[in-house]
Amino acid sequence: MDCREIVHAVTMRYPGHKSSLETIRSVLAKVFRYCAEAGYHSIAIPYLGCGTGGLDKKEVHRLIQAENEQYPDIEVRIYDFVSRTY
């Protein structure tokens, strides 16, 4: 992966537990703020919480888009690890 930095975003309290949309919303806000402050112009982000966490990709996609609206200078690529598509 050609990148400057990888930010680990924890989406569940304990390994193997379920996540929540509120947790994802909070994590996304922190990640986007961090990236904006670091001067990044693009990020690649997976569907957080949609694997073991059990969340719906469409709902998480909406959360990513909503947070990205707050940071229009950051280009976002959403990566699906299951199908390996963008």
Confirm whether 60 is domain-assigned.
yes
- In Å, what is the CA distance from 56 to each residue of 1, 17, 62, 71? 26, 15, 10, 23
The span from the CA of 35 to the CA of 71, in Å, is 10
> For residue 11, is it within any domain?
no
Q: Is 43:31 a contact under the CB 8 Å cutoff?
A: yes
Q: Is 72 a domain residue?
A: yes
All residues at 6 or more sequence positions from 70 whose CB lies less than 8 Å from its CB, including other chains: 32
Residue 51 lies in a domain: yes
50 part of a folded domain: yes
Residue 28 placed within a domain: no
Q: Which helix or strand (DSSP H or E) is residue 61 part of?
A: helix 57-69
Whole-model pTM: value is 0.85
Per-residue pLDDT of the chain (86 residues; tens, 9 = 90+): 567 777 888 888 888 889 999 999 999 999 999 999 999 999 999 999 998 899 999 999 999 999 999 999 999 999 886 655 44
For 69, the domain range is 41-86
